[in-house]
Structure 1
């Protein structure tokens, strides 16, 4: 029994597993809307991966990925969403590719491995069919195959001819043949089966790239015309002054509640700058990320490092002001799913700015920055997918309307 569990299924066994999975998926999905069936599919594929890949059961990282896939499947049972579905298939892909992947793979390399593995998985059925054909033929000529095929010509043609004659001569045979009703072929379902079988075969025979490109190091001085320690220091001074002007106006009119100039309403002031200021913060973060790199001459100067911290702090205040603008707009016009997502996105931008600053001050690697940002983005996406934002918005709007009505 132990040897059976450790044995890796061969091509014939995987073909049987593929056929069983195609039949299962046909019953779950063909003619049905995606819903509860997505969660059931996640559990079926997770169990199949554990059964088909003995190396996966000995791989800690792969088992964690399978556990995540099972959790995503459970979430899909309650409320299917696109984001959770994507997380499910990413976790399954990582689980099947993990046993052959190096242990130090980061998010950047894993993204390459998943993309290449998915592409190879789609082409895997054709590659295996070609390999099987070459193995069968070997160096032999194709003539023997035609010879074997030609042996069927006489019995088939002769049999059909005699059957036709007996049908014309015997009314009982004619009646029996006339009563036969063959099912009409469903072309769409056949295409569905073939496509599903092809994807499942790639899932059962995964193959990622042997190596992946490392993320850009992002250290040292940026060799670009006009980018020098002097220009970077001057740029930080100018940028800090401009951001101080914008943040000062926000503190004066948005945070303190001072009256706005004539002709400018609070709704106009809040709504006009909410998303543009987020774009400004992202641009500022890109400047710090690409121009002020760890190990460069400019960032080794204490004054420049203080100016960078001040610049990031001003950007965080800018993001907070954008969030406050959105909150003010929500109080005036109501809450929607899009506005909740916008607030979550603003929080993610703030986290990204903090991580960029930490990377610079603590001399972290680019892999660390990519991994931490991917984790933060995944948590935000998962949170906004699991929580019913429409219900939250409707509940908030109802309570807010009652409070306004009660005050009136």
Structure 2
């Protein structure tokens, strides 16, 4: 239901009121964002209030854009944006921010497009719109200028249309009169002297620039550009016509048979030595076997997937051959087993050394590769088209990103490393502590609290790290702009700091290692 249907007023007046509402919402969101991020923190460094801004942004779109409420396909995108906004309200992060922007853009353009066709094309559309979005406010200012020239009354349209000319002309005349009128020149000189303070000048410039960027962003979502390239229908719509493959069955079958044999050799080796614990040949250690070649095996799995996609197109005569299908199913099954072996190698490497961001992301990536291989197999079995495969993989990827946005990597990494090395405190100091100090988030606090509560496993380095992590979180929670729900829960669960703790002080000039001493908490 539009504003024209709600209000018993003529359509031009309803349209004008609708435009005023959009201006008010965009300006209000820009001012709120400026207040929230006035400390200079980016969205990734802000607190739960960033989630409040995101949810209010979503509510503003629902108020001023009735198509979002009535279009069925937009409901799923709005739900995704809402979940991402809740993740930002719990604890802001890069993944939740990207998901929110993607689903928000999807919800805006789905009513114009009609349906969701292809995830890859939608990603390209939204990326293109992100580049040209600032033009939206410029086009509207140009339209206001044209409307203002024909406006008979001194109304909002004529005011907004004349605003750029008013500002530029006023600055020009002030500059001229400052030279001709000593009084005006003195007032301007005093203003320039006041702004000559580096802090005040930088603060004013930063606020103005941020307001311009924020207003442009919010306006581009409330009144998006209407470009044909953003709403064109995908070529993937409809059934994929039958195509001839690049090679016939006579060439594909020997290749698939050879690939199956080579993959079988690798998989049998992994089953015997990696999974079964068989004795390795003389001169080779388990570390040499398990910790090498993971990247090469993943590349082999990706090449296998590309081969199947390139040479066994849906609807081609080759893909209908039963022998070819059997060999493909066997090869994909072996490739999935190969990926699982790569994951086992990575887990062994983590157990031998420690868990890090890169290794955790590598495990997630391998799981997505395995899921993609299974989807390729299902596509061949059910004769699906390319759009289905892209959308299915995009759905898996978005689900994983959604789970990651509610997961704190620092907590996972710290807990794993501390639990695995709890039986060897010296190893913790030598290996884990150095890496745990690089975790700048507050997620490691509770694992550190649990570790320091066990006297047999605690150490001065662990106590010092807990002290610095908790004090940093307390300082962050004291600022309402940086306060987060997750941080408040962690501080409550951690409890007060002990009465005495080991803190790390700067090393002396003749020593490269930090010195540890005991000191009471101030």
- TM-score normalised to structure 1 length: 0.83
Report the Cα offset of residue 74 of structure 1: 1.5
Consecutive unaligned residues of structure 1, counting only runs of 5 or more, are 139-144, 168-173
CA–CA distance in 2 between the matches of 1:336 and 1:3?
56
Report the Cα offset of residue 161 of structure 1: 11
CA–CA distance in 1 between the matches of 2:372 and 2:268?
23
What secondary structure does 2:231 align onto? Answer: coil
- What residue is the counterpart of 1:171 in the other structure? none
| Match 2:395 to one of 372, 375, 395 | 375
Which of the pair has the greater relative contact order for Cα pairs under 8 Å at 6+ separation? 1
- What residue is the counterpart of 2:505 in the other structure? none
Question: Are residue 207 (structure 1) and residue 225 (structure 2) matched?
Answer: yes
C-alpha RMSD of the superposition: 3.4
| Match 2:349 to one of 322, 329, 333 | 329
- What residue is the counterpart of 1:234 in the other structure? 254
Question: Are residue 122 (structure 1) and residue 134 (structure 2) matched?
Answer: yes
- What residue is the counterpart of 2:384 in the other structure? 364
CA–CA distance in 2 between the matches of 1:156 and 1:230?
83
- What residue is the counterpart of 2:59 in the other structure? 47
**Which has more helix, going by share of residues?**
1
What secondary structure does 1:272 align onto? Answer: coil
Does the 8 Å contact 1:40/1:77 carry over to 2?
Answer: yes
Report the Cα offset of residue 404 of structure 1: 6.7
- What residue is the counterpart of 2:337 in the other structure? 317
CA–CA distance in 2 between the matches of 1:395 and 1:310?
39
CA–CA distance in 2 between the matches of 1:322 and 1:218?
35
- What residue is the counterpart of 1:198 in the other structure? 216
Question: Are residue 60 (structure 1) and residue 72 (structure 2) matched?
Answer: yes
Report the Cα offset of residue 263 of structure 1: 2.8
CA–CA distance in 2 between the matches of 1:161 and 1:240?
86
Report the Cα offset of residue 132 of structure 1: 3.0
Does the 8 Å contact 2:137/2:220 carry over to 1?
Answer: yes
CA–CA distance in 1 between the matches of 2:209 and 2:129?
23
Report the Cα offset of residue 369 of structure 1: 0.8
CA displacement, residues 64-101 of structure 1 (integer Å, 9 cap, x when unaligned): 32232222111112221101111111121122223222
- TM-score normalised to structure 2 length: 0.66
CA displacement, residues 322-375 of structure 1 (integer Å, 9 cap, x when unaligned): 111111112211222322221111111111001001101110121111111001
Question: Are residue 22 (structure 1) and residue 30 (structure 2) matched?
Answer: yes
| Match 1:244 to one of 252, 261, 264 | 264
Consecutive unaligned residues of structure 2, counting only runs of 5 or more, are 151-161, 196-200, 426-455, 457-522
What secondary structure does 1:402 align onto? Answer: coil
CA–CA distance in 2 between the matches of 1:269 and 1:211?
52
CA distance 1:404–1:250, change in 2 (3 Å): farther
| Match 2:117 to one of 93, 97, 105 | 105
CA–CA distance in 2 between the matches of 1:64 and 1:299?
34
Does the 8 Å contact 1:316/1:353 carry over to 2?
Answer: yes
1:240-319 mapped onto 2 (5 Å cutoff): 240-319=260-339
Does the 8 Å contact 2:245/2:316 carry over to 1?
Answer: no
Structure 1 stretch displaced more, 366-375 or 4-13: 4-13
CA distance 1:163–1:284, change in 2 (3 Å): closer
Does the 8 Å contact 1:112/1:212 carry over to 2?
Answer: no
CA displacement, residues 173-200 of structure 1 (integer Å, 9 cap, x when unaligned): x9xx799868635223222221222222
CA–CA distance in 2 between the matches of 1:294 and 1:228?
14
What secondary structure does 2:134 align onto? Answer: helix
